[in-house]
A and B are shown apart, each in its own frame.
Chain A
């Protein structure tokens, strides 16, 4: 398939706008770890996955699980951009009565495949989804996005073990490796390195990429499809807060919303209108 990188770039830019606008309107939320995953979700939803926004429950569709559920803004913005629901809804994020809960709720949002928010549970559920795919002899693939801090949860490693044990080659995990968590850099809070060797020793196929390079992301997903008898993890080096200069690599922007001035500045930086 010929890749239109220009389209992917403008789509990613729109998704970033949606993240900024929704988190600003909510007055709280997680912009840093949403912005770091934009290119990954753009490739999945606009290039890779077999999905139909008009028929979110289409049988044998590919599944995406946002295991790092606090990244809800990037998922919502991507789903809206892809046409699962109106973009106008994004500003209802975290507001009473909204379908856009602080963390994704599969019962409320079309396109959300698993309710997540408590770390590692989405990854564990994606093991079950991959097993179901095998049972159904389906060609569907399961994708799941992990945070780096999330690797500190014991359940991640229970699930990793089972993914290799059951040879789930229909499962591709992506690690959004931005290096930062709430209390600071991973190495300071609780070192997760060596990440690559850990996953290899758990029996996973490991690919390391720049998580903001469309070319590398696409190549990695394509490679994962060719791997047999074991699951793949794509370790995507990313920048927390990517695209907004004052948020980049700053753990303070893990879980806080920009004020009016900051939101304007961010939207201007991203290009396009800055009406907040």
Chain B
């Protein structure tokens, strides 16, 4: 096993396993199968793969029709187009009738990199969160991504899975128990809690290690499911640490930060900070350069923790 793998790669592998197990699994793509990694499934199960061409609206409408006919449908494109361009079809044709469509959107966030702002979805979570019936999963590593895909396939109804382009380190081992809607506490600590999602989970763990060297112990939670968000783990963290920091590769508006804040405000108000894209569009650059520029690195988390516990 290499030490890094993109979550989209894990998605592609999971699809092939699912395809072998279940006849009802259908995969649709919109001319990006080599990037979304549905290409493996398309080769192995060519009769159950449909390329819909560069037409994301019809990708979602067709997925809805297949699901209405009893199929479990995985529909893939880049997050920008799956959640953005096809938004209203996802709302009215998939979520409103609660059809069994799994929108697996890759290339989310600014770490798309060189393609620039036009392709960097920083609002997809916000869009999908506002839809009744939608489940949102944003896995942090290849192992949890694969498990998320299997759980999504088991679940009856619409699911949005947010996947990344870049290779990310492994956080989990294969024995990970993954439940939709159940956050994972990766590090115990009571001085502050960092609730992170997606690629920011690894940054949060790094931050915790840096802080540990300075005798600051923080809790790190992988909030892989953003909707329904794990209220219990959030309330517990707020009560036991008194300071909550969220970290996401997404606009701070409408994403994980908002979801956590909604729970904190309602149940146990404490100080909060939100690490994320500060309501601005991205730009071209290398993923690590962009993370630095938009202040979404482990160092930014360390800084936020120090400020909040002051």
Q: Interface on A for B, CB 8 Å cutoff?
A: 63, 105-107, 113-115, 117-118, 120-121, 123-133, 135-136, 154-155, 158-159, 161-162, 165-166
Contact = CB atoms under 8 A, between A and B. Distances in A.
3 residue pairs, one from A and one from B, having the closest CB atoms: A128-B65, A124-B61, A132-B69
A128 B70 contact: no
Question: What band does the interface of chain B fall in when counting residues whose beta carbon is under 8 Å from A?
Answer: 20 to 34
A20 to B, nearest CB: 28
A123 B96 CA distance: 16
Nearest to A127: B62
A68 to B, nearest CB: 14
Contact of A106 (B48, B63, B68, B89): B68
Nearest to A136: B69
Nearest to A154: B57
Nearest to A128: B65
Contacts of B92: 115, 117-118, 121
B58 interface: yes
A136 B92 CA distance: 26
Nearest to A65: B65
Contacts of A114: 64-65, 68, 93, 97
Given A107-B97, A118-B92, A159 B58 contact: yes
B88 interface: yes
B68 A155 contact: no
B53 A124 contact: no
Of the candidates B58, B73, B89, B92, the one having the most CB atoms from chain A within 10 angstroms of its own CB is B58
Given A125-B68, A131-B65, A154-B57, 9 more contacts: A114-B65, A115-B93, A118-B89, A121-B64, A128-B69, A132-B71, A159-B62, A161-B55, A162-B52
Interface string B31-60: 000000000000000011010110101101
B47 A128 contact: no
A135 B23 CA distance: 10
A166 B50 contact: yes
Contact of A158 (B48, B55, B63, B88): B55
Nearest to B61: A124
B69 A118 contact: no
Nearest to B64: A125
Contacts of B60: 124
A124 B90 CA distance: 12
Chain B residues touching A, majority SS: helix
Interface in B91-112: 92-93, 96-98
A123 B58 CA distance: 9
B53 to A, nearest CB: 7
Contacts of A136: 69
A124 B89 contact: yes
A118 B86 CA distance: 13
B243 interface: no
B180 interface: no
A158 B57 contact: yes
B58 A126 contact: no
Q: Which of A114, A129, A132 has the most CB of B within 10 A?
A: A132
B50 A155 contact: no
A117 B93 CA distance: 9
Contacts of B61: 120-121, 123-125, 127-128, 155, 159
A53 B166 CA distance: 52
Nearest to A140: B69
B82 interface: no
A121 B89 contact: yes
12 contacts: A114-B64, A115-B92, A124-B60, A124-B65, A125-B61, A128-B62, A128-B66, A128-B69, A128-B73, A154-B57, A159-B58, A166-B50
Interface in B177-228: none
Contact of A162 (B58, B66, B89): B58
Given A154-B57, A161-B53, A135 B47 contact: yes
B26 interface: yes
Given A158-B57, A166-B50, A124 B68 contact: no
